[in-house]
Chains A and B, each alone.
Chain A
Amino acid sequence: MTEITSSLPPLIERPGPLGWMRRNLFSTWGNSLLSLASAAFLIWVLKGLLAWVFSAAEWGVILVNMRLIMVGQFPVALVWRIWAAMYFLAFLIGNTAGLRMQKTRRKGVIVGLLLSPVVFALFSFSLPARLAIAGLSLIALAGWWLGSRWPKAFRRPVLTGWIIYFPIFMLLVRGTAGEGSPMEIVTSNLWGGLLLTFMLTVVGIVFSFPLGVFLALGRRSQLPIVRWFSVGYIELVRGVPLITILFMAQLMLPLFLPQGVTIDRVIRAMVGITLFSAAYLAENVRGGLQAIPKGQFEAAHALGLSGFQSMFYIILPQALRLVIPILVGQFIALFKDTSLVAIVGLFDLLGIAKTVLAQPDFLGLQREVYAFISLIYWVLSYAMSYISQRLEVALGVGER
C-alpha cells in the first residue's frame, strides 16, 4: 500500500478562456465547424435584431401611449393614487431585499436592479413623469438602506406591509368616496392596460390559492358529499377552456340574473379566472399532499393533535413547500392567461395594444407594440420565477 502523504484534495485545473474554448468549442474538426456555423448564425440574428431595435423601429408609439398602456383610461387627475401604490410597493421590495440579502456578495446587482427605473426616466417623457419614475428608485433604495441598517426593527413591519398591501392597493385603485374628493371612486370600466392585467392576476392568485387548497383537502375528505363536490367541481372546470368560462361570465351570466341586476364586467372576469385557476391549483396541492408519508399523519395523531391541527401545522406546510415550483409555474400561466380577457372586450395589456394600433397615427406598428408588451410580460414572469427560487432557498426546499 502506498503511504498517504497529503490530506488535501487534489488540485483542479482551472483553464483560462482560451483553454476553455479549445476544450469545448474546437476539440475536433467537426466541433470547430459547428462552432463557427453557430457563431455566424447568432451574429446574423443579433445584428438584424439590434438594427431593428435601434434604427428601424419607431418607439414613439410606446412613449406617446405609455400612460394608456400602463393604466388605460384611469382619470389623469387621480393617477397619483396608482403612483402612491407603486411607491409603497417599491419601498416593500427595497426593504425586503435589504433584510433578506444581508450576507449576499452581490450587493451591486441588487442596487442596480433597484435603480433600473431610472433608465426609463431617461426617455422623453414630461419632466413630472421623469421625476415620478426616478422617485421609485429613490424610495426603493431608501427602503433597502433602512432594511439593511436596522434589520430587527423592520422585520415585522415589512411582513405586515406585504399582508396589507393587497387591500391598500385595491382601495387606492377603486377609491372610496363620492365625486370630487381625492378618493373618488373609479369604476372598473376605466381600469386598463398593465393596471388591469395586474389586478386580474393578483386577485386571481390571492383568491384561487385558498380556494384551491380547500378543494384539494375536500377531494381527500372522508365525507362523501364534500369529496364528490370537490371532484365534480375540479373535473368540470378542468374540462373547459378558460376562454369559454370568460365568455359565459360575460355573455351568458346576464341572462340568468334578474332584470336590473348587473355585475361589473371586470369582477365577472376576476371570478372566472379565480374559479378556473382554483381547479388546477387543487390538483397541484393534492399532489403535494400525497407526497407526505403516512408516518407524519400517524405521529401527529399519536401526539393528540386533532385532524385540523395535524393538517394545519404538519401536513400542509410540508405539502405546499413541495409544490412551490409547480404553483409558481401555474401563477405565471395565470398571469399570461389574463390576456384572454381582451377577447371578451376588456382593455388589459393586450386589449390596450389593440386599441393603440387602431389609432390612425400608429397604423402598421404592430411589431413595436407587441414587442413592448411581450417585454413587460417577460420581465414580470421572470420576476415571479426569481422570487420563487429565492423562496425555495429561504425555506430550505429539498434540504429538510
Chain B
Amino acid sequence: MSQSEETIIKCVNVNKWYGNFHALKDVSMEVKKGEVIVIFGPSGSGKSTFIRCINRLEEHQKGDIIVDGIELSHDVRNIEKVRMETGMVFQQFNLFPHLTVMQNVTLAPIQVRKWDKAKAEEVAVQLLQRVGIPEQANKFPGQLSGGQQQRVAIARALAMQPKIMLFDEPTSALDPEMIKEVLDVMIELAKSGMTMLVVTHEMGFARAVANRMFFFDKGQIVESGTPQDIFKAPREDRTKLFLSQILSH
C-alpha cells in the first residue's frame, strides 16, 4: 500500500476477440508501483482474460500493454522479460505434480534466473516460512490440502522475485475453511508493498488492502474507484446490482 508515483503497468485501449466474440473492449488501466488492484465482475466479463494479457498468456490484438517499461509485442524476448518480472497465481493452483514442493519453488530460479541450487533452496525455505508451510518442503503437491497448495503456488511465483503479482481467482477453488489461510498470505504480501492485480470476489480482502477496484462487465471497465467509493456509493446500476448479489448472503 506504500505506492509511489511511478507507473509500472500501462494499458491503453486493449482489445481482444475470440473468433467473433469481443472479449475485451478498449480496456485502459494504469497501475502505480506498490498499488493493490482488485478486479471483479460477473463470469465471462473478461477480467481473467485481461490479467492474463498482462503476462501474455493471452494475446491482445489491439492497443498497448507496457509492463515495467517493456512493451508487449510479438517479440519473444520482451515476453520473456515481462514474464520474469510478473508472478502469477492460478485458480487451479497448477503446481507441477511430479516435483516436490521444494523443486516446484526452485525450478524457475535455477533454470531462468540461473541461480545455483543452494541459493535457490535458501530463498525457497524463507518463502515457505513466509507462507506458513516450511515443514512441507519435501512432500508432493498431491499430498497437500488445497489451501497449502495455493500457498506453495504463491511461494513459487515469489521465488522469481517478481515486481508484480497477478492473482486469477486464487480462492475460488478452495473449501471455505481454507480461504482465510490464503487471504492472510495475500494481505501480508500487499502490506509488504508488492504491486498486485487480484481478480477475486473476496470483498473482505478488497476492503482490507485494495487501493482501487475495477468492476468489469461484458469486456469493459464499467466503474473504478477506491473501495470506499465502490462500496458506499457505486455510481453505475450494474455495479450496484452485482454488489447486492454477492454481498446479500
Contact = CB atoms under 8 A, between A and B. Distances in A.
Given A303-B107, A305-B108, A400 B142 contact: yes
A38 interface: no
A301 B86 CA distance: 11
A299 to B, nearest CB: 4
Contacts of A300: 96
Contacts of A304: 80, 83-84, 108, 112, 160
Contacts of B84: 304
B94 interface: yes
Nearest to B166: A302
B156 interface: yes
A28 interface: no
A307 B80 CA distance: 10
Given A304-B83, A304-B160, A309 B111 contact: yes
Interface in B60-115: 80, 83-84, 86-88, 90, 92, 94-98, 107-108, 111-112
Interface in A173-221: none
A296 interface: yes
Nearest to B153: A299
Contacts of A299: 88, 90, 94-96
A321 B98 contact: yes
Contact of B112 (A303, A318, A396): A303
B57 interface: yes
B55 interface: yes
Contact of A313 (B55, B88, B90, B111): B111
A301 B87 CA distance: 10
A305 B57 contact: no
Given A295-B90, A317-B98, A302 B142 contact: no
Contacts of B142: 399-400
B196 to A, nearest CB: 15
B157 interface: yes
Interface string B157-196: 1001000000000000000000000000000000000000
Interface residues of A, number: 21
B205 interface: no
Secondary structure call for the A interface: helix
A298 interface: yes
A399 B84 CA distance: 32
Contacts of A313: 107, 111
A300 B94 CA distance: 9
A298 B108 CA distance: 13
B140 interface: yes
Interface string B10-51: 000000000000000000000000000000000000000000
Given A313-B111, A400-B142, A303 B94 contact: no
A82 B16 CA distance: 66
A313 B83 CA distance: 18
Contact of B94 (A296, A309, A399): A296
B94 A298 contact: yes
Nearest to B55: A302
A296 B96 contact: yes
B152 to A, nearest CB: 12
Given A303-B157, A321-B98, A298 B90 contact: yes
A296 B83 CA distance: 15
Contacts of B55: 302
- Looking at B111, B112, B140, B160, the one whose CB has the most chain A CB atoms below 10 A away is B111
6 A-B pairs with the lowest CB-CB distances in the bound complex, closest first:
A299-B94, A303-B108, A302-B88, A295-B94, A304-B83, A304-B84
Interface of B: 55, 57, 80, 83-84, 86-88, 90, 92, 94-98, 107-108, 111-112, 140-142, 156-157, 160
Given A302-B57, A303-B83, A305-B108, 11 more contacts: A295-B90, A298-B94, A299-B88, A299-B95, A299-B96, A302-B157, A303-B107, A303-B108, A303-B157, A309-B111, A309-B112
